[in-house]
Amino acid sequence: MIRARTLQANTGAGAGAGAGCVSGPASGPATAPRPPLAIVAGGGDLPRRVMEACRRDGRDFLLVGIEGHADPQDWEATVPQMWIRLPRALSALDDLRTRGIATICLAGCVRRPSVAELLRLIPDRRTAAFLMRAARHALGDDSLLRAVVRELETEGFTIEASHEVIGSVLAPEGVLGSVAPDDVALRDLRFAFRLAKAMGELDVGQGAIVQQGIPLAVEAVEGTDAMLARAGDLAREGPGGVLVKTRKPGQDTRVDLPAVGVTTVVNARAAGLRGIGLEAGGTLVIDLDRMVRKADELGLFVVGLGPDDIGIGSDSVTDIDTGTTGGESNGND
């Protein structure tokens, strides 16, 4: 049974010092010093949340914006920053070393270009060598990110997860707002969870949408918002569908966890969905309280799904009772 849950903020604590970057004001007594952080930023709200957490904790940071993905207008001039192009990304590591930064957080959305696209943009020698190694394998997003993490660690850098910087922003288990799923929605949640995990096994996507036992969409390169728009065009009559977001089986939780926020809720409502299921402990939530308030306002449920709710271990994609046969409910929960 999916249980209700009272939301509790967890703001975290810490302090840091470093060279070559600017720190925010400390907020409270210092504990163990935290090393200066390079925030490698793509699009979306997550990089700003990481930056705000550094300021909150008095931790030195440097924004490393990815040109064409992060928007310079999102960052005031007072934010310590440098900008890089993906084809020359590895050359920036020497700059980080000069600034005394050895810890990196990868945050935000990056539209994945093909290796051919990157090679046409004249990469530096170090990045070109990495791309040629990557080109020998048919890498999905998770496999490619694992290769990036290995490369950074080989260069002597430590990778820190965005949720570890921010504090507790992973989806908790249970009903997160005032709206709860009914039996039909629960069956759809179980099926969508299985579908998303199956696609994750193939290193394709991190989400799926199901309505009354019918798969409307699975996430691929287009991302969640585009998937929601597509599902809205395919919606059936009757009770609306559900979106489920899950991490990929075996995914490195330091990078590219599935993420949701207020925009996800608004777009889900526009697509005619009734609610959203999030893998508990495996989905980043941007501004949890605000997202839940918006869901309540729009009449959508948001639930954190644990193994007991789905009936399987969090990485398995088999043996889930979807309660559906041939795309129709059989009336059993």
Compute the Cα dihedral for 41, 46, 52, 58 and give only its sign: negative
Whether 139 has a pLDDT exceeding 70, the answer reads no
Whether 234 has a pLDDT exceeding 90, the answer reads yes
Least confident of 107-116, 191-200, 293-302: 107-116
What's the confidence (pLDDT) of residue 43?
87
What's the confidence (pLDDT) of residue 330?
36
- Tell me the average pLDDT across 201-226: 91
Strands (E), the chain: 15-16, 22-23, 33-34, 37-41, 60-66, 81-84, 103-107, 158-159, 174-175, 207-211, 214-218, 242-245, 259-260, 275-279, 284-285, 301-305, 324-325, 328-329
Least confident of 7-11, 80-84, 90-94: 7-11
- Tell me the average pLDDT across 176-197: 96
Q: Specify the higher pLDDT residue, 126 or 112.
A: 126
User: Residue 317's Cα: distance from chain center in Å?
Assistant: 20
DSSP state of 74: G
Whether 233 has a pLDDT exceeding 50, the answer reads yes
Q: Where are the alpha helices (DSSP H) in 31-91?
A: 46-56
- Tell me the average pLDDT across 157-171: 89
- Tell me the average pLDDT across 297-307: 95
Under the banding of pLDDT at 50, 70 and 90, the label for residue 3 is low
Residue 209 one-letter amino acid: I
- Tell me the average pLDDT across 122-140: 67
Under the banding of pLDDT at 50, 70 and 90, the label for residue 167 is confident
C-alpha closest to that of 322 among 207, 187, 209: 187
Token pair of 309 as six digits: 């709710």
pLDDT in tens, 26-49: 444 446 678 999 999 998 888 999
- Tell me, yes or no, if the pTM score tops 0.75: no
Mean pLDDT of the chain: 81
DSSP state of 3: P
Question: Which structural domains are found in the chain, ordered by start?
Answer: 15-166 (3.40.50.20), 174-329 (3.40.140.80)
C-alpha closest to that of 125 among 89, 168, 78: 89
